[in-house]
Structures are given as C-alpha cells and as structure tokens.
Structure 1
Amino acid sequence: MTLPEVSPARLEEEWAADKDVLASLRENGDRAEIVRPVDVSFRGDDEALDKLEEEAAELGFEVIEREEDEDGEVCLFLSREQTTDDAAIKGLTKLCLQIELAYEVEYDGWGCTAEDGTE
C-alpha cells in the first residue's frame, strides 16, 4: 500500500507535542533504546475504523481494542513494538499521519510506559 505524503507543517506540529511526551518519559527514567509496546489511537466513523482495523497488520500494528468515549466518539487503539528514540517516534508519527489521510480518520496520539531496564 502506498500511503499519502504528509504536510511538513502538520508533521512539525505533531512533533512539537511528541517532544513534550518524550521529555516526560526521560524525566521518568525511560531508556529510549528499550523496545516496548507503543500504543496509538484513531477516531473516526465505524466504516473508516473497520477498514483500518482490517488492515492494521499490513501497516505493522496489532489491534488492541475499540472504545467509545464519554462524548460517544469511537476510538481504535493499535499497538506496535518499538523504541522511543526520537527517530523512531518521529517515524511513528509520520506513519500515523499518513494513516489519518489514507483512512479518513483522526490520529489521536501515542503513548507507552517508561522503561528503565529494571522489571
């Protein structure tokens, strides 16, 4: 599947928010090189989310769940194993913005737990 190009301005807007999340992770002792599940979420109508859910594996994601929020909006949560270094997160964000355009859904961000190498 060929995904659409993302506007550099939109990518930079998301990257600015990502840097805040990454800073918070680092403050909590995160070691960026540790591979762990990173979750992403998308909002949209049932038809668009159905299509994304069906094709998630082709895009490198595993489906976690679909959930309705207090406003009645439906979110699809996906996950993939990766590091949290800057390049990996910027790549993830670019991919999610491409998915947003290709599937006509709204990318709602990413999240993960801080990993310090101790279990």
Structure 2
Amino acid sequence: MDVIKKNQEFQQIFEKGHSIQGKFLVVYFLRNQYQINRYGICVGKKLGTAVRRNYIKRLLRESLRTLTFPNHQMNLDILLVAKKQILSASLNSIIEEIQHILLKVVFLKLKNKGELEDSQ
C-alpha cells in the first residue's frame, strides 16, 4: 500500500477528484498515472487533540491494511477524510464502511469508464 504524503497531491485530489460520503468518512478519489492505488488519510483538528487524531489515523491505516480490497487495478489516488462521527465508531464498522465505499468506486469506474480518465 503506497501512501500519499505531498500537500500538492492532497490538494489536487480535493480539487479535481470525485467524492463519496459515508457515515464516518468522506472518500475522495482521482485517477493517477501510476500502476498502483495510493492512499492518503486526513484527520482535521476539529476532531480533537493530537492523541485522538493519531488514534483515528491508526484506526484508518489498520482498516486499510485488513481490508479485502476488490481485485481491480484501478490506478487511483484515494483520500480518506475522517468525520466527527468516527470518534464513536468501532474498527469493524470503519472497515465495513470503507469496503462499501470502495465497492461504489469500482462500480462508478465500471459504469462511467471514460469519466474518471477525463477528470485529470
């Protein structure tokens, strides 16, 4: 699992990417030029102290690590943005939500095959 770290790449995904809202997360995605999927995690300061934000990041990284990801090479940059409701969520519910949202992304990719390529 490759990680998105550069601020410029985060901004590009926010500005040009598509988004899907969930109960605990907003997931932004944008096609990249690499042959792999890359992930970024964003937890705002409104969610609490640094200890709490780091805990949320660890939960999200662990959920991505244990995720049974669809067997599609999508070449996407995927950005997970935590919402305030994530503070009361369990690891299993976060995993289920990410899985559900990523299946929506796969469905959108198959449904609108050319649209994701045109967004760059």
User: Greater strand share, 1 or 2?
Assistant: 1
TM-score clears 0.5? no
Return the structure number with greater helix share: 2
Tell me the TM-score normalised to structure 2 length. Answer: 0.29
Structure of greater relative contact order (alpha carbons < 8 Å, 6+ residues apart): 1
Q: Give TM-score scaled by structure 1 length.
A: 0.29
